[in-house]
Each structure stands twice: as C-alpha cells, then as structure tokens.
Structure 1
Amino acid sequence: MLVHNIPCVTLADPNIIKLTQESIKNTFKDGQTLRELIDDLKAGRVSADDLPAIRLFEKEGRISISLDNRHLKAFQEAGVQIRTIPATEDEIANEAFKFTTTNNGTSIRVRGGGL
C-alpha cells in the first residue's frame, strides 16, 4: 500500500473515503463522544479547520482509505467536508492492526452506542 497523488492537505467528501476498522469506540481520548462531535459539526460550532486532518492512503491508485476512523465517521454523519493529508508509509505499517473491516470499508459499528 503506497501513497500516490494525494495533495498535501485538502478538503474531501467524507462519504467517498473508506474506513479500515470493523468497529470504533464511541468516545475520543479527550472524553468527547462521537455524537457530541457530530452535533457540533452540524451546528457549525466545530469546523474541519478545528480538527487535525485525517490521514489517507490510496489502494489500487484510486480508493482513498482513512487511518482515522472516528473522525471520518463523525464527518460522514454530519455531512461536512473533511481535511485530509497523506499517511506516511510508516503510519500505514504501524496501524495495519486497524485493518479489520469486513465490508470493504463501507460502514462501521460504533461500540457503546450513541448513534
């Protein structure tokens, strides 16, 4: 899996980006819930510029895949464009344990409810 032709930081439609995990926890490290972030994005209290860009890599030169599944899921649910940045080869290798999707990254289960 190599990074090809992804601009440095760009806005993207989150619904065309694939997820890597089968499931995600419903809270972030800071304690914020996925639902809270979705609501804040929808209300405009938080924008893409307020959060780190999600890291992407491309598969087969055309499918964008995220290493940052919770943030991607929040932006997908909110219907708000997301900032993206290319993942490094080391990041892809170090986070390969996350590649647990069983549906080609089209959906993800949220553990702990809230959606």
Structure 2
Amino acid sequence: MSSYDTYPDMYEGWGGGRRTIGVKQMRPSQLRFTHDSISSRFKDGHTMEETFMQLLNGEISLKEVRSLVAMEYQGYWFVVRGNRRLYIMKKLEDIGNISTISVLLQTFDQQVFVKQFSTKNMGLSLKVRGDPFLEQKLNRIVSEWRNNRSGGNSGWYNYSGSGRLRGESNIIISDSTGYNYLGRQSYIPNQQVQSTTNSPSRTVSQPRVISPEPTKDTSSSKEDGSWCVIL
C-alpha cells in the first residue's frame, strides 16, 4: 500500500490536480521553512502562543488543521504554505506531543517557490516578528503542561470555547499577518459558568483571552520605555 493518499481536488489554486503528488505523513523535523521570518499572529488575529496551547491542551485537534503544503528543493521538503504552523508543529514534536503530521506534497513549481523562499539558512530556522519572548512563553506553557500531567497544579488555564475561525479560504489556520484579540480582557482563571442553552444545566470553562499591551503610565516622572507582564 502506498504511503501517499492522493487528493487531486485539494487546495484548489495551490496544486489541486496537476501539481499535487499526494498527502503523506511526515515528521515536522523532516520539513524546512521557506520564510526567513514570520509574524507571531495568524490572519484571524490569534497568537502563536494561544494556538500552541490549544493544540497542546487538546482544544484544537490536528484533524482540524489542514495539511501543510511542501515542495522538494535540492533534496529537502520546504513548506510553501504554513510556516507558522510548521513552527508550532516542530515544537510539539520536540516535546513528544506529536510524531507525524499530514503534508500535501506538490511537484516543484519555480514561480510559486521563489515567491515564498526568503530563508537565509536553507530553512533550518527563522525569526518570529512581534513577540521576542515567544520561545520563553512556549517553554513556560510546556512546563505547566508537564506539571499538570504529573498531577501538579500550577494554575493551568484553558482556551475553551474560543469559537475562533481558523481560515484563509479553506485553510484552517492561516499564514498571513493580522491583529485582532479575543476581547480586551486580562487572563481569566479557569472559572465555572452556567450554560445558557436549553440543554440540561452544565458547567463550561471560561475562555482564556489575551491581554493587549498595557498602557504606559505617564503620570510618573520617571521615564521607562519598557513594560513587562508577569503571566
């Protein structure tokens, strides 16, 4: 049986038919970035930090996330669609949360590839714009996740019921930059609230939302150009 599952109609405009080889299960570590840098936010406004936590906490299933799109170049598979998602998937693989993901493989198209290819180190790494502390935040989330699994209680929060729309056309999590928070609220502990539906009474988790950058206090005479939020 072939290791490929062929879907000739997938990703219309990004291969569908002639350029599509098929979908293959691959380790994120087998894939390389085409971009030199990425924004820390998806097109729908959600942060990479939030998306990572939702995947890690099981609130987004990998089945909900459409396959990355990759092309082979000089013997390596480069992701031409989904560099932000690949960054997150690599981190999840590093901590043993996932092993393989679905990747839509396409034959090499120079016109498409050149538009995406800005990496300076053959796709081994990239920079994240807009959040210089993203890696530290992800490491903190992983530490809390591991502590939670081992029976500890470190104040783990959930993103339950965010209702986010994950899409660029039919792509579940988009790759373009954007800015839009889920409301302007601070981190909210995992409170219990009553459901307002007609179904039997039950409790659901309060969604976790992201705070905007705090406003600098101009009332103080001391000038300080930095700010810090303790999460």
TM-score normalised by length of structure 2? 0.43
Does 2:82 correspond to 1:64?
Answer: no
Instruction: Give the number of the structure with larger relative contact order, counting CA–CA contacts within 8 Å between residues 6 or more apart.
Output: 1
For structure 2, which runs of at least 5 residues remain unmatched after alignment? 1-19, 136-231
More helix by share: 1
Residues 1:36 and 2:47 are matched in the alignment = no
Choose from 107, 121, 145 the match for 1:103: 121
Change (3 A) 1:104 1:47: same
CA distance in 2, matches of 1:88, 1:11: 17
Answer yes or no: is the 8 Å Cα contact 2:67–2:103 preserved in 1: yes
- SS where residue 72 of structure 2 aligns? strand
CA pair 77-93 structure 1, distance change in 2 beyond 3 A: same
Please identify the structure whose Cα radius of gyration is greater. Answer: 2
Q: Is the 8 A contact 2:32 2:122 kept in 1?
A: yes
Q: Is the 8 A contact 2:72 2:107 kept in 1?
A: no
State the AA in 1 paired with 2:126.
I
Q: Which stretches of structure 1, 4 residues or longer, exceed 3 Å deviation after superposition?
A: 87-90
Q: Describe how 1:1-115 pairs up with structure 2 within 5 A.
A: 8-60=22-74, 62-67=75-80, 68-79=82-93, 80=98, 81-87=100-106, 93-94=111-112, 96-113=114-131, 114-115=134-135
SS where residue 84 of structure 1 aligns? strand
Unpaired segments ≥5 residues, structure 1: 1-5
Contact kept, 8 Å, 1:7 with 1:86, in 2: the verdict is yes
Mapped partners of 1:55, 1:103: distance in 2 = 20
CA contact (8 A) 1:39 1:78 kept: no
- Quote how far apart the aligned CAs of 1:34 are: 0.9
